[in-house]
Amino acid sequence: MRIRNTKLTITTPIIYVILTIYAIVNVYPIIWMAINSFKSEQEFAVNQFGIPKKFVLENFMNAWEIANFGVLFKNSIFVSLAATFFTVLIGALASYFLARFEFKFSNVVYGFFAFGLLIPIHSTLVPIFILMKNLDLLNKPYTLLFPYIAFHLPITIFVLTSFMKAFPKSIEESAVIDGAGLFRRFWSIVLPMSRPALATVIILNFIYNWNEFAFALVLINDQNLQTLPLGLANFAGQFTTNYGAQMAGLTMSIIPIIVFYLLFEKNIVKGMTAGAVKE
C-alpha cells in the first residue's frame, strides 16, 4: 500500500498537467464562441479577441427569430432522437449476431457494413436524392431518418461488435444452461453488459445526426421541416456574415448535445460488472 502511495504522488501531478493543457486547448474555442455571441456586428468587426465592451443580448433574439429556431430545434430533436434510436437498435441486434455467431458469409456481411464507411458523402447526394424522389420520400418529417440510419449503422456496428467480441463467453454460457432463449440472452445479458459501448454509440449517433448538413440540405425543401445546421448556415451570405447572430445560434445549438452527452456519459465509465450484478 505504501509503495503505491509514493508512486501516486510522483505521477499524479504530471497527469494533471497533461490533462490541464489538453483541457485548455479544448475549452478555448467554446469560450471564444460564447463571448463573441454577445458582440454586435460593429464590435466583432474591430474586436475578435477580447471581452465585449457592451454585451448584446439581441443576437440571441435575432438568431431565434430570423432563423426560425423554434421549429428547427423541434425538427432536429425529432430527427436526431428517432434516427439514433433506430440505428442503435438495429446496430445492437446486428452486432450481437456478428460478434457471437459464426455463420456462412458473416465476414461478407461485416464487410458490407464497412463499405458504408468508405463513400464520401457528397458523391452520394445525387443518387440518394434521385432514389428518394422515386420512392416519393422527399420532404417528409421522416425523410432524413433513412440516410441517417443507413450511413451511421457502420460505425455503430463496428464499435458494438468489437465490444461484444471481448465479452467473456462464460456468462452467456451459464445462461444457456439455465435455459434462456436467444432474445432473452440478448436483452438481459448482452445489452446490459454492453452499456458503455451503447452509451458511446448513442452519443456519437446523436451528435452526427444533430450536426448533419449535406442530406438535410438536398432532401428537404419545406422550411417547416428543416433542421438546425441549415438554419445556422443562414447567417452567412455571399459577401457578409452576421457573426454575432451566428455565434449566438451555435451556442444555443450545442446546449442540447452537451445535455445529451452528460445524460449518457455516466454509463460509459460505470463498470460492466456493476451492471451485470444488478441484473
Partner 1 sequence: MTFVGLANFVELLKDPDFWNSVKNNILVVLASVFGQVPIALLIAILLNRKLKGSRLFRTIGFLPVVLSTVVISITWNLVYNSKYGLINEFLRSIGLDFLTQNWLGDPDLALYSVLVVIVWQFVGLYLIIFLAALQNIPNEVLESAKIDGASEWVTTWKITIPMIWDTILVAIVLCISGSLKTFDLIYVMTNGGPAHSTEVMAIYMFNETFKNFNYGYGSAVSVFIFLFSLVLIVIVRKLFKLKGI
Partner 2 sequence: MRRVGLAVLSLLLLLALAACNDGGEEKASGAKNGVIELTLWTDWTEDRPENTVYKDMISKFNKQHDDIKIVLETIPHDQYETKLRTQAAGNQLPDMMRVWPGERTSVLVESGALLPLDPIIDQWKESIPESILDDYAVKGSYYAIPSNVSLTSLIFYNKELLKKAGYSDFPTTYEDLKKLIVALNKEGITPISLGNKATWPLQSVYISTIADRFTGSDFLPNVLSGKGSFVDKNFIQALSVIDELTKLNAFNEDMNTIDEATARNEFIKGSAAMHFAGSWAIGPILDNVENIDNIGVAPLPTFEGGKGEPSSISGVAGGGIALSSQLTKEEQEAAFEFLKFYYSETLYQNLVKANIIVPVNVEMDSQTPAIFKTANSFVQGGLAPVYDATLPAELTDIINNGLQAITLGEKSPKELAKEMQDALEKMK
Cell of 129: 436524392
- 13, 17, 21, 23: residue in contact with partner 1 (rule CB under 8 A): 23
For partner 2, the binding residues in 181-210 under the rule CB under 8 A are: 192, 195, 198-199, 202
Q: Which is nearer to partner 2, 143 or 251 (CB)?
A: 143
- By CB under 8 A, residue 237 contacts partner 1: no
For partner 1, the binding residues in 179-208 under the rule CB under 8 A are: 196-197, 199-200, 203-204, 207
- 34, 35, 77, 204: residue in contact with partner 2 (rule CB under 8 A): 77
> Which among 241, 240, 243, 213 has a CA at the least distance from the CA of 227?
213
Helices (H), the chain: 2-36, 41-46, 58-66, 69-100, 106-118, 121-134, 145-165, 169-177, 182-185, 191-193, 195-211, 214-219, 228-233, 243-269, 272-278
CB contact at 8 A, 228 and 256: no
Cell of 238: 455571399
236 forms beta bridges with: 241
Q: Single out the segment in contact with partner 2 by CB under 8 A; choices: 26-34, 104-112, 120-128, 148-156.
A: 120-128
The rounded distance, in Å, linking the Cα atoms of 165 and 154 is 16
Partner from partner 2, partner 1, none binding residue 133, C-beta < 5-8 Å depending on class: partner 2
Q: Single out the segment in contact with partner 1 by CB under 8 A; choices: 56-64, 66-74, 113-121, 174-182.
A: 113-121
Show the site string, 241-270: x = touches partner 1 by CB under 8 A, - = not. -----xx--x--xx--xx--xx--x--xxx
Q: How many residues bind partner 1 (CB under 8 A)?
A: 68
- By CB under 8 A, residue 157 contacts partner 2: no
The rounded distance, in Å, linking the Cα atoms of 91 and 201 is 9
38 burial class (0-12, 13-18, 19+ CB within 10 angstroms)?
A: buried
The residues that touch partner 1, with contacts defined as CB under 8 A, are: 4, 7, 11-12, 15, 18-19, 22-23, 25-30, 32-33, 48-49, 107, 110-111, 114-115, 117-123, 126, 155, 158-159, 161-163, 165-168, 196-197, 199-200, 203-204, 207, 211, 229, 232, 246-247, 250, 253-254, 257-258, 261-262, 265, 268-273
